[in-house]
Protein backbone atom coordinates (compact mmCIF):
# COMPACT_ATOMS: atom_id res chain seq x y z
CA UNK A 1 0.00 0.00 0.00
CA UNK A 2 1.38 3.41 -0.92
CA UNK A 3 0.65 6.70 0.74
CA UNK A 4 -2.16 8.55 -0.99
CA UNK A 5 -1.94 12.34 -1.47
CA UNK A 6 -4.58 14.73 -2.63
CA UNK A 7 -4.12 18.43 -3.29
CA UNK A 8 -6.45 21.35 -3.05
CA UNK A 9 -5.80 24.52 -5.06
CA UNK A 10 -6.86 27.78 -3.41
CA UNK A 11 -6.91 31.00 -5.39
CA UNK A 12 -6.60 34.16 -3.33
CA UNK A 13 -6.70 37.80 -4.34
CA UNK A 14 -4.35 39.23 -6.99
CA UNK A 15 -3.92 35.84 -8.58
CA UNK A 16 -2.06 34.24 -5.66
CA UNK A 17 -2.38 30.47 -5.83
CA UNK A 18 -1.79 28.21 -2.83
CA UNK A 19 -1.57 24.45 -2.89
CA UNK A 20 -2.69 22.44 0.11
CA UNK A 21 -2.18 18.74 0.70
CA UNK A 22 -5.24 17.20 2.28
CA UNK A 23 -5.66 13.92 4.12
CA UNK A 24 -8.83 12.42 5.55
CA UNK A 25 -8.23 10.05 8.46
CA UNK A 26 -10.61 7.83 10.41
CA UNK A 27 -9.70 7.37 14.07
CA UNK A 28 -11.00 4.56 16.33
CA UNK A 29 -10.81 4.63 20.14
CA UNK A 30 -11.73 1.67 22.38
CA UNK A 31 -9.05 1.66 25.08
CA UNK A 32 -11.41 1.89 28.06
CA UNK A 33 -15.14 2.60 28.38
CA UNK A 34 -15.77 4.99 25.48
CA UNK A 35 -16.53 3.59 22.04
CA UNK A 36 -15.52 6.36 19.64
CA UNK A 37 -14.82 7.13 16.00
CA UNK A 38 -13.94 10.37 14.28
CA UNK A 39 -12.89 11.71 10.91
CA UNK A 40 -10.30 14.48 10.71
CA UNK A 41 -9.29 16.55 7.69
CA UNK A 42 -5.68 17.69 7.87
CA UNK A 43 -4.38 20.40 5.54
CA UNK A 44 -0.77 21.44 5.00
CA UNK A 45 0.52 24.09 2.59
CA UNK A 46 3.92 24.16 0.90
CA UNK A 47 5.32 26.26 3.74
CA UNK A 48 4.41 23.62 6.30
CA UNK A 49 1.49 25.52 7.80
CA UNK A 50 -1.05 23.06 9.17
CA UNK A 51 -4.80 23.36 9.58
CA UNK A 52 -7.27 20.79 10.84
CA UNK A 53 -11.00 20.29 10.82
CA UNK A 54 -13.02 17.78 12.81
CA UNK A 55 -15.59 16.46 10.34
CA UNK A 56 -17.20 14.12 12.88
CA UNK A 57 -16.55 12.92 16.40
CA UNK A 58 -18.93 10.27 17.73
CA UNK A 59 -18.49 9.02 21.31
CA UNK A 60 -20.63 6.47 23.11
CA UNK A 61 -20.04 6.39 26.87
CA UNK A 62 -20.51 3.17 28.86
CA UNK A 63 -21.11 4.91 32.20
CA UNK A 64 -24.55 3.36 32.61
CA UNK A 65 -23.18 -0.18 32.12
CA UNK A 66 -20.43 0.26 34.71
CA UNK A 67 -22.14 2.49 37.28
CA UNK A 68 -23.66 -0.44 39.27
CA UNK A 69 -20.12 -1.75 39.86
CA UNK A 70 -18.57 1.57 40.87
CA UNK A 71 -15.90 1.29 38.18
CA UNK A 72 -15.06 -0.07 34.75
CA UNK A 73 -15.47 -3.84 34.32
CA UNK A 74 -13.03 -4.83 31.52
CA UNK A 75 -15.10 -7.71 30.10
CA UNK A 76 -18.28 -5.61 29.96
CA UNK A 77 -16.35 -2.80 28.28
CA UNK A 78 -14.97 -5.12 25.58
CA UNK A 79 -18.41 -6.60 24.90
CA UNK A 80 -19.94 -3.15 24.52
CA UNK A 81 -17.24 -2.18 22.02
CA UNK A 82 -18.04 -5.28 19.95
CA UNK A 83 -21.74 -4.42 19.91
CA UNK A 84 -21.47 -0.71 19.16
CA UNK A 85 -18.22 0.03 17.27
CA UNK A 86 -19.49 -0.68 13.76
CA UNK A 87 -22.50 1.56 14.40
CA UNK A 88 -20.30 4.36 15.75
CA UNK A 89 -18.01 4.20 12.69
CA UNK A 90 -21.03 4.34 10.37
CA UNK A 91 -22.34 7.40 12.24
CA UNK A 92 -18.96 9.11 11.94
CA UNK A 93 -18.92 8.59 8.18
CA UNK A 94 -22.50 9.78 7.82
CA UNK A 95 -21.93 12.93 9.87
CA UNK A 96 -18.82 13.74 7.82
CA UNK A 97 -20.78 13.08 4.60
CA UNK A 98 -18.13 10.66 3.42
CA UNK A 99 -17.77 6.97 2.64
CA UNK A 100 -14.88 4.58 3.11
CA UNK A 101 -13.51 5.32 -0.36
CA UNK A 102 -12.85 8.92 0.69
CA UNK A 103 -10.69 7.92 3.64
CA UNK A 104 -6.90 8.02 3.15
CA UNK A 105 -5.84 6.13 6.28
CA UNK A 106 -7.26 4.52 9.41
CA UNK A 107 -5.80 4.95 12.86
CA UNK A 108 -6.76 2.98 15.96
CA UNK A 109 -5.63 2.97 19.55
CA UNK A 110 -3.28 0.00 19.92
CA UNK A 111 -2.49 0.63 23.60
CA UNK A 112 -2.09 1.28 26.41
CA UNK A 113 -5.50 0.34 27.82
CA UNK A 114 -7.78 -2.53 28.72
CA UNK A 115 -6.50 -5.22 26.40
CA UNK A 116 -9.94 -6.58 25.45
CA UNK A 117 -11.17 -3.19 24.32
CA UNK A 118 -7.93 -2.33 22.53
CA UNK A 119 -8.14 -5.62 20.61
CA UNK A 120 -11.67 -4.80 19.41
CA UNK A 121 -10.71 -1.42 17.97
CA UNK A 122 -7.38 -2.46 16.50
CA UNK A 123 -8.78 -5.64 14.92
CA UNK A 124 -11.64 -3.66 13.40
CA UNK A 125 -9.16 -1.17 11.92
CA UNK A 126 -7.02 -3.99 10.51
CA UNK A 127 -10.04 -5.61 8.87
CA UNK A 128 -11.12 -2.32 7.31
CA UNK A 129 -7.62 -1.55 6.04
CA UNK A 130 -7.27 -5.03 4.55
CA UNK A 131 -10.64 -4.86 2.83
CA UNK A 132 -10.24 -1.29 1.57
CA UNK A 133 -6.49 -1.33 0.86
CA UNK A 134 -5.86 1.57 3.23
CA UNK A 135 -2.80 2.26 5.42
CA UNK A 136 -3.09 1.18 9.07
CA UNK A 137 -1.67 3.47 11.74
CA UNK A 138 -1.39 2.04 15.26
CA UNK A 139 -1.74 4.85 17.77
CA UNK A 140 -0.44 5.12 21.30
CA UNK A 141 -3.33 6.40 23.43
CA UNK A 142 -0.97 8.67 25.37
CA UNK A 143 0.40 10.20 22.16
CA UNK A 144 -3.16 10.95 21.08
CA UNK A 145 -3.66 12.93 24.30
CA UNK A 146 -0.25 14.58 23.88
CA UNK A 147 -0.96 15.86 20.36
CA UNK A 148 -4.54 17.05 20.92
CA UNK A 149 -3.37 20.58 21.72
CA UNK A 150 -1.90 20.78 18.20
CA UNK A 151 -5.33 19.91 16.82
CA UNK A 152 -7.20 22.48 18.92
CA UNK A 153 -4.63 25.26 19.40
CA UNK A 154 -1.90 24.61 16.81
CA UNK A 155 0.66 24.41 19.62
CA UNK A 156 4.24 24.24 18.40
CA UNK A 157 6.91 21.90 19.77
CA UNK A 158 8.28 21.63 22.40
CA UNK A 159 5.85 21.79 25.32
CA UNK A 160 5.24 20.24 28.72
CA UNK A 161 2.13 18.10 29.10
CA UNK A 162 0.42 17.12 32.33
CA UNK A 163 -1.79 14.12 31.62
CA UNK A 164 -4.33 13.54 34.40
CA UNK A 165 -6.86 10.83 33.66
CA UNK A 166 -8.42 7.68 35.07
CA UNK A 167 -5.46 5.59 33.99
CA UNK A 168 -2.49 7.97 33.90
CA UNK A 169 -0.90 10.85 35.80
CA UNK A 170 2.30 11.95 34.08
CA UNK A 171 4.51 14.87 33.10
CA UNK A 172 5.69 14.44 29.54
CA UNK A 173 8.13 16.55 27.58
CA UNK A 174 6.65 16.67 24.07
CA UNK A 175 9.54 17.49 21.73
CA UNK A 176 8.13 16.28 18.41
CA UNK A 177 5.94 13.57 16.96
CA UNK A 178 7.37 10.32 18.32
CA UNK A 179 9.86 12.17 20.55
CA UNK A 180 8.73 12.15 24.18
CA UNK A 181 10.53 12.27 27.51
CA UNK A 182 8.79 11.08 30.67
CA UNK A 183 9.63 13.48 33.52
CA UNK A 184 7.38 11.99 36.19
CA UNK A 185 4.53 9.54 36.70
CA UNK A 186 2.41 7.97 39.41
CA UNK A 187 3.99 5.05 41.23
CA UNK A 188 0.61 3.59 42.18
CA UNK A 189 -2.90 4.94 41.48
CA UNK A 190 -3.65 7.42 38.73
CA UNK A 191 -5.42 10.55 39.96
CA UNK A 192 -8.70 9.75 38.22
CA UNK A 193 -8.64 6.30 39.82
CA UNK A 194 -8.03 7.90 43.23
CA UNK A 195 -11.06 10.14 42.73
CA UNK A 196 -13.25 7.17 41.78
CA UNK A 197 -12.08 4.97 44.65
CA UNK A 198 -12.49 7.78 47.18
CA UNK A 199 -16.01 8.45 45.94
CA UNK A 200 -16.85 4.75 46.18
CA UNK A 201 -15.60 4.64 49.80
CA UNK A 202 -17.92 7.54 50.64
CA UNK A 203 -20.91 5.97 48.89
CA UNK A 204 -20.97 8.54 46.09
CA UNK A 205 -22.09 7.77 42.55
CA UNK A 206 -19.85 6.73 39.64
CA UNK A 207 -17.92 8.36 38.02
CA UNK A 208 -16.43 9.75 41.21
CA UNK A 209 -14.61 12.84 39.96
CA UNK A 210 -17.68 15.02 39.30
CA UNK A 211 -19.37 13.77 42.49
CA UNK A 212 -16.41 14.70 44.68
CA UNK A 213 -16.17 18.12 43.06
CA UNK A 214 -19.88 18.70 43.68
CA UNK A 215 -19.66 17.65 47.33
CA UNK A 216 -16.47 19.66 47.88
CA UNK A 217 -18.29 22.90 47.09
CA UNK A 218 -20.38 22.36 50.23
CA UNK A 219 -17.53 21.23 52.49
CA UNK A 220 -14.82 22.62 54.77
CA UNK A 221 -11.49 22.03 52.99
CA UNK A 222 -9.52 22.65 56.20
CA UNK A 223 -11.29 20.12 58.43
CA UNK A 224 -9.05 17.17 57.56
CA UNK A 225 -5.28 17.30 57.06
CA UNK A 226 -4.40 14.61 54.55
CA UNK A 227 -0.81 13.60 53.60
CA UNK A 228 0.94 14.74 50.43
CA UNK A 229 3.17 11.77 49.52
CA UNK A 230 6.50 12.40 47.72
CA UNK A 231 5.88 16.16 47.74
CA UNK A 232 9.20 17.01 49.36
CA UNK A 233 11.25 14.72 47.12
CA UNK A 234 13.08 16.11 44.10
CA UNK A 235 11.67 13.61 41.63
CA UNK A 236 8.50 14.57 39.74
CA UNK A 237 6.57 11.38 40.53
CA UNK A 238 3.19 11.06 42.24
CA UNK A 239 1.72 8.69 44.81
CA UNK A 240 -1.98 8.72 45.64
CA UNK A 241 -2.33 5.38 47.41
CA UNK A 242 -1.43 6.82 50.83
CA UNK A 243 -3.83 9.71 50.37
CA UNK A 244 -6.62 7.27 49.56
CA UNK A 245 -5.80 5.25 52.68
CA UNK A 246 -5.82 8.41 54.81
CA UNK A 247 -9.31 9.23 53.54
CA UNK A 248 -10.52 5.73 54.44
CA UNK A 249 -9.10 5.95 57.95
CA UNK A 250 -10.60 9.41 58.52
CA UNK A 251 -14.00 8.16 57.37
CA UNK A 252 -13.84 5.09 59.61
CA UNK A 253 -12.88 7.21 62.62
CA UNK A 254 -16.04 9.35 62.46
CA UNK A 255 -18.45 6.75 61.06
CA UNK A 256 -21.37 6.78 60.52
CA UNK A 257 -20.87 9.69 58.15
CA UNK A 258 -23.32 12.54 57.83
CA UNK A 259 -23.71 14.35 54.53
CA UNK A 260 -21.65 17.22 55.92
CA UNK A 261 -18.90 14.79 56.94
CA UNK A 262 -18.77 13.54 53.37
CA UNK A 263 -18.70 17.09 52.02
CA UNK A 264 -15.83 18.01 54.34
CA UNK A 265 -13.84 14.90 53.40
CA UNK A 266 -14.36 15.63 49.69
CA UNK A 267 -13.31 19.26 50.11
CA UNK A 268 -10.20 18.30 52.09
CA UNK A 269 -9.31 15.55 49.62
CA UNK A 270 -9.71 17.87 46.64
CA UNK A 271 -7.66 20.65 48.30
CA UNK A 272 -4.87 18.16 49.00
CA UNK A 273 -4.88 17.00 45.37
CA UNK A 274 -4.76 20.59 44.11
CA UNK A 275 -1.84 21.38 46.43
CA UNK A 276 0.06 18.32 45.19
CA UNK A 277 -0.56 19.05 41.51
CA UNK A 278 0.34 22.73 41.83
CA UNK A 279 3.59 22.07 43.70
CA UNK A 280 4.63 19.29 41.33
CA UNK A 281 3.72 21.33 38.22
CA UNK A 282 5.79 24.28 39.44
CA UNK A 283 8.80 21.95 39.72
CA UNK A 284 8.07 20.32 36.34
CA UNK A 285 7.92 23.70 34.60
CA UNK A 286 11.26 24.63 36.15
CA UNK A 287 12.80 21.35 34.99
CA UNK A 288 11.42 21.86 31.49
CA UNK A 289 12.70 25.42 31.39
CA UNK A 290 16.22 24.33 32.26
CA UNK A 291 16.45 22.09 29.19
CA UNK A 292 14.52 24.41 26.84
CA UNK A 293 15.58 27.86 28.01
CA UNK A 294 15.54 29.24 24.47
CA UNK A 295 11.94 28.13 23.80
CA UNK A 296 8.57 29.56 24.90
CA UNK A 297 7.31 27.94 28.11
CA UNK A 298 4.07 26.09 27.33
CA UNK A 299 1.99 23.88 29.63
CA UNK A 300 -0.65 21.62 28.10
CA UNK A 301 -3.24 19.88 30.29
CA UNK A 302 -4.91 16.70 28.99
CA UNK A 303 -7.15 13.99 30.41
CA UNK A 304 -10.60 13.96 31.95
CA UNK A 305 -9.47 15.17 35.39
CA UNK A 306 -8.77 18.53 33.73
CA UNK A 307 -12.53 19.13 33.96
CA UNK A 308 -12.19 19.70 37.71
CA UNK A 309 -12.52 23.47 38.15
CA UNK A 310 -10.49 23.66 41.36
CA UNK A 311 -7.58 21.85 39.69
CA UNK A 312 -7.88 24.01 36.57
CA UNK A 313 -7.86 27.20 38.64
CA UNK A 314 -4.80 26.12 40.62
CA UNK A 315 -2.84 25.17 37.50
CA UNK A 316 -3.80 28.43 35.82
CA UNK A 317 -2.17 30.32 38.67
CA UNK A 318 0.94 28.13 38.56
CA UNK A 319 1.32 28.79 34.82
CA UNK A 320 0.83 32.54 35.32
CA UNK A 321 3.45 32.63 38.09
CA UNK A 322 5.92 30.83 35.80
CA UNK A 323 5.11 33.08 32.80
CA UNK A 324 4.02 29.98 30.92
CA UNK A 325 1.26 29.71 28.36
CA UNK A 326 -1.51 27.37 29.55
CA UNK A 327 -3.35 25.36 26.92
CA UNK A 328 -6.35 23.25 27.89
CA UNK A 329 -8.29 21.69 24.97
CA UNK A 330 -12.11 21.58 25.25
CA UNK A 331 -13.11 18.97 27.80
CA UNK A 332 -14.82 16.88 25.10
CA UNK A 333 -11.36 16.43 23.57
CA UNK A 334 -9.56 15.93 26.90
CA UNK A 335 -11.57 12.83 27.72
CA UNK A 336 -11.17 9.76 25.50
CA UNK A 337 -12.48 10.35 21.97
CA UNK A 338 -11.88 9.39 18.38
CA UNK A 339 -10.76 12.83 17.18
CA UNK A 340 -7.54 12.69 19.17
CA UNK A 341 -6.75 9.27 17.68
CA UNK A 342 -7.57 10.45 14.15
CA UNK A 343 -5.38 13.53 14.61
CA UNK A 344 -2.41 11.54 15.94
CA UNK A 345 -2.82 9.19 12.98
CA UNK A 346 -3.01 12.14 10.58
CA UNK A 347 0.20 13.60 12.03
CA UNK A 348 2.01 10.27 11.56
CA UNK A 349 0.47 9.67 8.14
CA UNK A 350 1.80 13.04 6.96
CA UNK A 351 5.29 11.77 7.81
CA UNK A 352 4.76 8.58 5.81
CA UNK A 353 4.23 6.30 8.80
CA UNK A 354 2.09 3.17 8.56
CA UNK A 355 2.06 -0.13 10.42
CA UNK A 356 1.94 -3.78 9.38
CA UNK A 357 -1.08 -5.93 10.20
CA UNK A 358 0.95 -7.95 12.68
CA UNK A 359 1.20 -4.97 15.03
CA UNK A 360 0.07 -6.31 18.41
CA UNK A 361 -2.32 -4.68 20.87
CA UNK A 362 -0.62 -3.67 24.11
CA UNK A 363 -1.98 -3.18 27.61
CA UNK A 364 1.16 -1.21 28.48
CA UNK A 365 2.98 1.10 26.06
CA UNK A 366 5.03 3.96 27.52
CA UNK A 367 5.52 7.04 25.36
CA UNK A 368 9.28 6.84 25.68
CA UNK A 369 9.32 3.32 24.18
CA UNK A 370 11.67 2.88 21.21
CA UNK A 371 8.74 1.86 19.02
CA UNK A 372 7.35 5.40 19.24
CA UNK A 373 10.26 6.93 17.34
CA UNK A 374 9.86 7.82 13.68
pLDDT tens profile 297-311: 999 999 888 889 999
The arithmetic mean of pLDDT across residues 86-91, rounded, is 98
Task: Provide the mean pLDDT of the chain.
Answer: 93
Same domain, 146 and 171: no
Query: Does residue 105 fall inside a structural domain?
Result: yes
pLDDT of res. 329: 94
**Structural domain that includes position 264:** 156-333
The arithmetic mean of pLDDT across residues 23-43, rounded, is 97
Q: What's the pLDDT tens digit per position in 225-247?
A: 999 999 888 899 999 999 999 99
Confidence of residue 10 (pLDDT cuts 50, 70, 90): low
Query: Does residue 27 fall inside a structural domain?
Result: yes
Q: Comparing C-alpha atoms, which of 47, 1, 40 is closest to residue 23?
A: 40
What is the full DSSP assignment across 299-344?
EEEESGGGG-HHHHHHHHHHHHHTT-EEE---HHHHSS-HHHHHHH
Tell me, what CATH number does 342's domain have?
3.30.420.40
Same domain, 347 and 310: no
pLDDT of res. 70: 86
pLDDT of res. 20: 66
Same domain, 144 and 239: no
Confidence of residue 1 (pLDDT cuts 50, 70, 90): very low
pTM: 0.92
Same domain, 308 and 340: no
Same domain, 83 and 204: no
157 pLDDT higher than 90:
yes
| pLDDT-wise least confident of 2-16, 47-61, 121-135, 230-244 | 2-16
Same domain, 355 and 281: no
Confidence of residue 2 (pLDDT cuts 50, 70, 90): very low
The arithmetic mean of pLDDT across residues 39-57, rounded, is 92
Q: How many folded domains does the chain comprise?
A: 2
Cβ–Cβ < 8 Å for 288, 160: yes
The arithmetic mean of pLDDT across residues 315-322, rounded, is 97
Same domain, 134 and 72: yes
Phi, psi values for residue 116, rounded to 5°: -60, -45
Cβ–Cβ < 8 Å for 139, 108: yes
Cβ–Cβ < 8 Å for 173, 160: yes
Same domain, 161 and 96: no
pLDDT of res. 4: 46
Same domain, 288 and 341: no
The arithmetic mean of pLDDT across residues 87-103, rounded, is 97
pLDDT of res. 187: 95
Q: What's the pLDDT tens digit per position in 333-353?
A: 999 999 999 999 999 999 999
Same domain, 180 and 241: yes
The arithmetic mean of pLDDT across residues 157-184, rounded, is 95
Dihedral-angle region of residue 15 (phi above 0 means left; psi in -120 to 50 means alpha; beta otherwise): left
pLDDT of res. 254: 97
Same domain, 249 and 359: no
Confidence of residue 294 (pLDDT cuts 50, 70, 90): confident
Same domain, 180 and 323: yes
Query: Does residue 315 fall inside a structural domain?
Result: yes
What is the full DSSP assignment across 235-284?
S--B--HHHHHHHHHHHHHTPSPPHHHHHHHHHHHHHHHHHHHHHHHHHH
The arithmetic mean of pLDDT across residues 87-96, rounded, is 98
Query: Does residue 1 fall inside a structural domain?
Result: no
15 pLDDT higher than 70:
no
Amino acid sequence: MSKQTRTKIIVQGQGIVLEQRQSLVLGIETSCDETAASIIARYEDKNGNIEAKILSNIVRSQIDEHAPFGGVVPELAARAHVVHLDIIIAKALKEAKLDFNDIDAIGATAGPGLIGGVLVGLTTAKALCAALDKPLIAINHLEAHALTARLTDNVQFPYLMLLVSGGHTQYIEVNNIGDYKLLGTTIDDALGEAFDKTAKMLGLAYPGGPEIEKSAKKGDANRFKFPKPLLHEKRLDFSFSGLKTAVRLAAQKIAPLSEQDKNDICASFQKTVVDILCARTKDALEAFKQTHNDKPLQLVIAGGVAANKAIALGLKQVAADANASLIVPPISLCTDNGAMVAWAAAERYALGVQNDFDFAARSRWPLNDESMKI
